Structure 1
Amino acid sequence: MPFWFSAITLSTTLAACSSNSEQQDPVAAARFENERRIGEADVTSKQERDAEFLVNAAASGQLLTEASRLALQKATLPAVRNFAARLLKEHAAIGQGLQVVAQQKSITVPSGLGHEQQDQYQKLTAAGGSAFDKQYVELLLDLHNKQEDAFDDMREEAYDGDIRGFAAKYYPVLSDHLSQLKQLEDQTENLP
């Protein structure tokens, strides 16, 4: 087993095996479970990449969903609230598709926000007024840029055909969201 894989496994194990459930990170736990399963099977690095893609997509999707629920309550611009409502609907479909593929492939995905996502969400909850709108749009731009890149790569490079199909199916949706977010960024950047 390569050293880097051992180091990742050890650090993930320590994070995932915490006895304090408040400190347990669902993203780290999912990665640990996948690494454990992968370690027991004859799995290629491409299959490991497929699993990591699904874990990251699930974690980003969950943060996006929680942030959008918050935006329905706190956003000051109607355009931001409308976009949040649209995202909740469309990312629910992406999340369901991800769950189906992960289940078919026996890949564990996080069941909640990881520590990194919780920190991002807490920063967003602290904002109010137009500052909230700006931070929400900035967060979504960051998440969608990363997701669009990952889905673009995986629609061609995923080892598993079903994962390639999942990425190809939802890549246009994420690309459209990114275009709309850039328009929202223009609207929010001049807010006080």
Structure 2
Amino acid sequence: MLHSSRFLMLAGFLGLASCSPDASQKDPVAEAQFQNEKRIGDDNVTEKQERDAEFMVEAASDGMLEVELGKLAQQKATQPAVKTFGQHMVEQHAEANAALKTLAGQKGLVLPASLGREQQDTYAKLSALTGTAFDKQYMALMVDDHKKDVGEFEDMSEDAYDGDIRGFAAKYAPVLKEHLDMAKEVNEQVEDLP
């Protein structure tokens, strides 16, 4: 009797496992957040450390999106200033992403390996556009994204629990501010295009 109940429990677990969603369907950003929360929960650390981990995941997903959209801008943009801006985003964000990945490795934090669903949606919407419509949407998005990023990085340069994460945020906040200024300038050039 004991063996049959164990068998039924095992069969139940296997049944549950087979019903679980395919791993390829998981959102990489949500999965990274989950893995970090699980580790933080297991280690019984503070809410501030959880915020640090969230910041790292958000910075990684935003950085990856900036690179992918920058590549797209180099291919699709009609205005030379937009193409140049896209190239600058690829170079600058690739460098920041590499530094972020190294830092996450040192801190034992998981970062998303690819774009999350929200970032994929943004990419899909922009890739569907052509001509000046692409230029205008891309640059408007770059202004909005960099405003948000500058605020996050400035906050974390003061508020991050971990000193190295504070240092990372402090190092890249001025770079993002520079990107924001450039994005505003190029956006002004394209927003009145037909």
TM-score (norm 1): 0.89
CA distance in 2, matches of 1:44, 1:23: 31
Indicate the residue corresponding to 1:74 in structure 2.
76
Higher Rg = 2
Matched, 1:181 2:183: yes
CA distance in 2, matches of 1:119, 1:90: 23
Indicate the residue corresponding to 2:139 in structure 1.
137
Matched, 1:31 2:33: yes
Percent identity between the aligned chains? Answer: 54
Identify unmatched segments of 5+ residues in structure 1: 1-16
C-alpha displacement of 1:18: 5.4
Indicate the residue corresponding to 1:85 in structure 2.
87
CA distance in 2, matches of 1:82, 1:43: 44
Indicate the residue corresponding to 1:125 in structure 2.
127
CA distance in 1, matches of 2:91, 2:59: 16
CA distance in 1, matches of 2:103, 2:24: 28
C-alpha displacement of 1:156: 0.7
Q: Deviations over 1:13-65 (max 9, x none)?
A: xxxx9532442110011011001101100210100000000000001111111
Give, as a single letter, the amino acid of the residue that structure 2 aligns with 1:74: K
Secondary structure of the 1:112 match is coil
Identify unmatched segments of 5+ residues in structure 2: 1-18
Give, as a single letter, the amino acid of the residue that structure 1 aligns with 2:29: V
RMSD of the alignment, in Å?
1.2
Indicate the residue corresponding to 1:166 in structure 2.
168
Secondary structure of the 1:76 match is coil
* Runs of 4+ with >6 A deviation: none
Indicate the residue corresponding to 2:13 in structure 1.
none
TM-score (norm 2): 0.88
Comparing 53-62 and 137-146, the one that deviates more: 137-146
Give, as a single letter, the amino acid of the residue that structure 2 aligns with 1:48: E
Secondary structure of the 2:25 match is coil
C-alpha displacement of 1:173: 0.5
Give, as a single letter, the amino acid of the residue that structure 2 aligns with 1:75: A
